[in-house]
């Protein structure tokens, strides 16, 4: 793409953008009476305009129907999570039977490790990436300790920039990487890592918190064993939104996997017969424990419907151009930690700032982004609601702030 460093060029790109109409489907926070440049979709995505009505509908059914809303609501609550399955399957490249919206991310990581981390004296290690999100480190270490192993010997860290292949051997039980590292913004080659892991008999799972709704995923075709993600970042489900999980179809009817069970994972036909013996629903739904928060699912569904209409392929095409424009405007002017090759990143760039003054100038200028000590500004132009003009405004402040 032949980019130009001018506001007219950015406006021209916006005018030609087939996805530009989706911006109006989100509430954009204001700064001094004007739209912010909101580059924090990697932390908390913006509110879809349809979210309030989606929650309102369920409040209305609760008001008018009470408990009957489970069966007679406009969107019967007993089935509500199923209304999100096709959309989630599209977003992560899965079959509907392989995905479910439930719980929160760290909870799902634990539940899936109960099934997929079965260490033995020979094979007990977990590989995670260096600088993994703290919650993932805590979860993985506590699982290792729970099974009577020592994180000092059972936890292996993949160093940033290193090849994973030499780390994978018969002592590795599980590879559990972030799809996109939250700090560096690096996107891992999930297909290749899955293939390498399976060749050595390892289970391969991914934490997709920063990849879902961002990178193009094909979890089914790549043969990934399991994955989990949160829904409040790129998926715009709202603070603490109901998270998601993927379990490959190969395990849909696998009765040998241990799991922690609850009534919402039990065979739907007989759930309300309240019998004593657990019979899991085939597929990812069988990992559910509790009936989900309907007020949590409603705004998430509102957002997923937008993704489903816009389509991930189109969003990713725009995303590559949008972040590519940012990298172009910053070239020779800033150090970018994130690999700029689109195959190795999502929409986020992690940029080194010469001083925190840069971040302060951005904030004063109406840019919402993220500062990480000692010198990192993380920015995530998202294709659903950000524009090339946003990118231009950001880069102008970033490169022109007097230091």
Query: In whole angstroms, how close is the CB of 363 to ligand PLP at the nearest point?
Result: 22
Pick the closer one to ligand PLP by CB: 33 or 134. 134
Per this entry, what is the length of the chain? 403
- Residue 133, φ and ψ in degrees, nearest 5: -50, 135
- Structure token pair of residue 276: 């004593």
Pick the closer one to ligand PLP by CB: 22 or 226. 226
Element (H, E) at 379: strand 376-379
Smallest CA-to-CA distance from 148 within 117, 119, 178 is with: 119
Pick the closer one to ligand PLP by CB: 89 or 211. 211
Query: In whole angstroms, how close is the CB of 70 to ligand PLP at the nearest point?
Result: 27
Query: In whole angstroms, how close is the CB of 110 to ligand PLP at the nearest point?
Result: 10
- Structure token pair of residue 214: 């961002």
- Beta-carbon contacts of 205 under 8 Å, excluding residues fewer than 6 positions away, are 112, 113, 116, 174, 175, 176, 224, 225, 226, 227, 228
Query: In whole angstroms, how close is the CB of 333 to ligand PLP at the nearest point?
Result: 28
Pick the closer one to ligand PLP by CB: 330 or 379. 379
Query: In whole angstroms, how close is the CB of 183 to ligand PLP at the nearest point?
Result: 9
Query: In whole angstroms, how close is the CB of 308 to ligand PLP at the nearest point?
Result: 22
Pick the closer one to ligand PLP by CB: 38 or 133. 133
The answer to whether 286 and 101 are in contact (CB under 8 A) is no
Pick the closer one to ligand PLP by CB: 234 or 385. 234
Sites of contact with ligand PLP (CB under 6 A): 104-106, 133, 135-136, 178, 182, 207, 209-210, 230
Pick the closer one to ligand PLP by CB: 210 or 378. 210
Helix, strand, coil abundance in the chain, percent, nearest 5 = 45, 15, 40
Q: Which residues of 265-301 are buried (b: 16+ CB within 10 A; e: fewer)?
A: bbeeeebeeeeeeeebbebbbbbbbebbebebbbbbb
- Structure token pair of residue 170: 């018969």
Query: In whole angstroms, how close is the CB of 59 to ligand PLP at the nearest point?
Result: 25
Pick the closer one to ligand PLP by CB: 38 or 182. 182
Distance of alpha carbon 2 from alpha carbon 318, whole angstroms: 15
The answer to whether 144 and 119 are in contact (CB under 8 A) is yes
The answer to whether 330 and 395 are in contact (CB under 8 A) is yes
Query: In whole angstroms, how close is the CB of 45 to ligand PLP at the nearest point?
Result: 12
SS3 110: helix
Token look-up 């109409």 returns 21
């Amino acid at each position: 793409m032949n980019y130009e460093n001018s506001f007219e060029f950015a406006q021209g790109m916006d005018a030609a953008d087939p996805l530009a109409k989706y911006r109006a489907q989100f509430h954009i926070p204001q700064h001094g009476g004007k739209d912010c440049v909101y580059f924090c979709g990697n932390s908390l995505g913006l509110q879809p305009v349809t979210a309030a009505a989606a929650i309102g509908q369920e409040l209305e059914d609760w008001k008018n129907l009470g408990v009957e809303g489970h069966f007679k609501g406009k969107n019967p609550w007993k089935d509500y999570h199923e209304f999100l399955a096709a959309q989630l399957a599209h977003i992560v490249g899965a079959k509907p039977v392989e995905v479910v919206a439930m719980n929160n991310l760290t909870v799902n990581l634990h539940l899936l490790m109960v099934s997929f981390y079965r260490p033995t004296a020979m094979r007990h290690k977990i590989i995670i990436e260096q600088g993994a999100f703290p919650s993932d480190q805590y979860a993985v270490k506590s699982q290792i300790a729970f099974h009577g192993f020592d994180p000092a010997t059972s936890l292996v860290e993949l160093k940033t920039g290193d090849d994973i292949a030499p780390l994978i051997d018969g002592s590795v039980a599980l590879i559990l990487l972030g799809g996109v590292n939250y700090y560096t913004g690096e996107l891992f080659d999930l297909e290749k890592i899955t293939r390498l892991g399976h060749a050595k008999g390892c289970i391969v799972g991914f934490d997709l918190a920063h990849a879902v709704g961002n990178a193009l995923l094909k979890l089914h075709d790549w043969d990934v064993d399991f994955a989990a993600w949160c829904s409040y970042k790129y998926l715009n489900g709202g603070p603490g939104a109901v998270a998601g999980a993927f379990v490959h179809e190969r395990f849909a009817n696998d009765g040998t996997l241990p799991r922690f069970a609850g009534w919402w994972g039990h065979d739907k036909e007989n759930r309300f017969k309240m019998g004593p013996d657990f019979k899991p629903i085939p597929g990812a739904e069988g990992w559910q424990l509790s009936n989900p928060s309907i007020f949590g699912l409603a705004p998430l569904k509102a957002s997923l419907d937008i993704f489903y209409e816009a389509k991930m392929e189109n969003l990713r095409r725009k995303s590559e151009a949008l972040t590519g424009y940012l990298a172009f405007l910053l070239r020779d002017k800033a150090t970018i930690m994130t690999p700029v090759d689109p195959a190795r990143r999502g929409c986020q760039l992690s940029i080194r700032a010469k001083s925190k003054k840069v971040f302060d100038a951005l904030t004063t200028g109406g840019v919402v982004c993220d500062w990480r000590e000692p010198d990192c500004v993380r920015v995530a132009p998202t294709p659903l609601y950000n524009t090339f003009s946003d990118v231009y405004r950001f880069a102008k402040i970033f490169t022109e702030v007097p230091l």
